[in-house]
Amino acid sequence: MSQLIPPHGGKGLTCCLLEGAALQAEMKKAQGLKKISVSPREKGDLIMMGIGGFSPLTGFMTKADWKGVCEKFMMADGTFWPIPVTMSASKTEAAGIKIGEEIALYDAEGKEIVATMKVTEKYEMGVAEKRFECEKTFMGEGSKTVEDFWKIAEKDHPGVQMVMKQKDVNLAGPVKVLSEGEYPKKYAGVYMRPAESRKIFDERGWKEIAALQLRNPMHRSHEYLCKIAVEVCDGVYIHSLVGNLKPGDIPAETRVKCIDALVKYYFVEKNVLQGGYPLDMRYAGPREALLHATFRQNYGCSRMIIGRDHAGVGDFYGMFEAQTIFNKIPYPKEAGKALLCKPLMIDWTFYCFKCDGMASLRTCPHGKEDRVLLSGTMLRKMLSEGSKVPDHFGRDEVLEILREYYKGLDEKVEIKLHGAATGAEKK
């Protein structure tokens, strides 16, 4: 019997992905259904519902679910969930769909049927509703007031931009997922379904597993976080995003090569597993840290490594707000409805010349001038500009891969530094 943490929601892995004869029959039926295109974010959410990564979700959220998640971190049935998972359509598209009708969901290019959906509810998402969602989901301690938040949010926050560009009506209802897109082939050996990672963890005899979230190439701080986790858990799941990022972020193929190099040369391989998941980043900071813990529970992880500025962007969030939010969320008493994956909270880490090694604010008594402050944003900026990377910032094997990547770019995106990247503390 498995010793792993149970999937979130108390219903096991709820997988909406069809296979075999059921898939062929649904594909045939979908040809005759009304077509709605989905955004890249919605496509990633569909795939996660398909493979059980978003258990217990089996469809896009109703208005009651959406409102409950925004306001109280809970769906209408009392299950914890931190971020809305919704799908939008234009008013014209929505007007042509009857409640109870099935529709076919195509990718943004209209080339592939991703899923079918039975529409059980339609609700308007005007500017007021979108702003409400953004304020609840994306506004952190970095903004003193709602007015402060909106002064820069639409210009500088990619998650806010994503929500504000959504169409004006949300469609709710259960889905049948028909495709995992390019991920199984493009990231063969890395992209995993939750059932696959759980099987590997069971085969290795692991019970306590910590997940490391990655959207940047691994630098020395990431490596150190993993090694702390290896010391206190049975193993670490280095779980990187292979969906869409914002301009200037480094693509998944390059990040996977960097992880491979680090694991090969600097880890005991039997204690580490690399995986990839198909979501787009929402850059929701604390709320996204909770989402990361929620779906890592489905992948079999009992701990979520949370360092400084987890899933943040710019200066929207307090440095350790993604840690403290775990103390503020509800824990429903009904079986399976609470978040069981706990945070593994680690302080700001860096290389210290006087300590002669990696350290954190909890272990190092020395000053800022003795430290190499490590940041994925800072690393990307230095490499994109051809600047010298300071000693102890990254492993040589990783830096070589990244330099090759930047050498091949025809166009470079300006990378803005923020407080967490420069070492300035956020207020």
Closest CA to 211 of 69, 310, 315: 310
Phi-psi region of 365 (alpha: psi -120 to 50; beta: other; left: phi over 0): alpha
Assess whether 282 carries a catalytic annotation: no
The answer to whether 208 touches 302, Cβ cutoff 8 Å, is: yes
DSSP state of 368: G
Catalytic residue of the set 215, 220, 255, 395: 215
- Residue appearing with tokens 């929601």: 9
CB-CB neighbours of 340 under 10 Å:
16
Burial of 234 (C-beta count, 10 Å sphere; 0-12/13-18/19+): middle
**CA atoms within 13 A of residue 89's CA, in its CB half-sphere:** 24
Distance, CA of 327 to CA of 287 (rounded, Å): 12
147-to-94, 150, 151 alpha-carbon distances in Å? 32, 5, 6
Distance, CA of 173 to CA of 100 (rounded, Å): 9
By DSSP bridging, strand 169-177 and strand 113-118 are: antiparallel
Assess whether 216 carries a catalytic annotation: yes
Burial of 61 (C-beta count, 10 Å sphere; 0-12/13-18/19+): buried
Instruction: Determine phi and psi for 349, rounding to 5 degrees.
Output: -110, 155
The answer to whether 339 touches 291, Cβ cutoff 8 Å, is: no
Distance, CA of 325 to CA of 345 (rounded, Å): 11
Distance, CA of 398 to CA of 403 (rounded, Å): 9
Catalytic residue of the set 131, 170, 216, 395: 216
The string of DSSP codes covering 127-145 is HHHHHHHHHHHH--TT-SS
Active site residues per annotation: 215-216
